[in-house]
Chains A and B, each alone.
Chain A
Amino acid sequence: MSLSSFLLRSVWGKTLWDQRRSLLGWMAATAGVTFLIGSMWPSVQAQSDQFQELIETYPPALKALFSINEISTPAGFLQTQLFSATLPVLFLVYAISRGADLLAGEEERGALDVLVAHPLPRGGIVLQKAVALALGALALSVALLVGLAGVNAVYGMGIPFVHLLAAATLLGLLALGFGALALALGAFRGRKGFTAALTTAAAASAFLLATLGKLAEGAEGLRWASPFAHVLEAAPLVNGFSLGGALLLVALPLVLVPLAMWAFERRDLGA
């Protein structure tokens, strides 16, 4: 059986089939960026003392905003260069744009009527869309893991594989969480632009809470409420999995997807 005839059997499969080309592009970009930035390590390592001295002179707000800590070790370097902005932006743009499109975008295109008129429960349609979203995030995480394992091997960085796995998994879960938020907002109100804008605003707020939150005197602990903190601050490439972070990031889609199913069951579809 061909891949297309397998995927065209279900809503989740068809959703992935629709984005087959773009998903390969996102995966290539993820692995490529990872390898490109990772390949700078040898030159940074040669002057790591100077770099570290330079960084020590940065104002605390800047260091906080870009989650800069130590870059004299391979894990610290990759954590700072990849996970403080570049990869989270890449993953979140993918997840939010997909999440906003899966219900709200299809509704605006007039593609949802004919699907919902098939003998499928509405909640099941939402669940299958969420599965497609999760598989897309998983694909990006796999591409990231391949890129990380590649630079780790090529430049003899010696980072434990479980740390690479933790970083790739937690970032994928972070993207899935915000993708699920976009899906849920689209389930409440079928407007793609509104959904994407609100989710992006939520993600930006959570990012600032995680990064600048540690400067808030007396409320430093609050930043751990942000999902970003568990991928940026917690530095999984350096420290591996943290149970609390993993639980929070898993909980997000587990709460948001049933909420989306509930909302989508209840409302009128847009004409």
Chain B
Amino acid sequence: MSSIHVTAAVNGDPVEFLCQPEETLLDVLRDRLGLTGTKEGCGTGDCGSCSVTLDGRLVCACLVMGAEAEGRQIGTIEGMADGETLHPLQQKFLDHAALQCGICTPGFLIAAKALLEKNPDPTEEEVRYWLAGNLCRCTGYDKIIRAVMDTAEDMRKSNAS
């Protein structure tokens, strides 16, 4: 079976890979590109742990075919921190202890970042609806929601000053 040659950008860096037509973007990220920060939970778009952005749009990487990525911009958890400096959401997740096992965390962070870029001042209800497709089986959602709300407030203050 012939492989498909794909050229794309991941976190701003150009990447090239060969993949089989059946492979998902999640397979490609983890197994071809070695970017294992994006997690596989359900593999059917229900849990959100493989959340990435595709041309800026929040999607589940398990529901995107690898070959679809040709020419696209992909954003993953590996691109979230600026070197050793954590993204404000990452720091707040630590501050609020908004994670335990951590499998859902990259997905929550990517999804929350996409929300705050679209809506810097969300209500708690808006945060809960936006993140409804991200499932957590240990921490529970309250600390996660607090962390996102707290980050949004801090980011608004720092943007205003």
User: Are A and B genuine complex partners?
Assistant: no
Give chain B's interface residues, CB within 8 Å of chain A. none
Give chain A's interface residues, CB within 8 Å of chain B. none
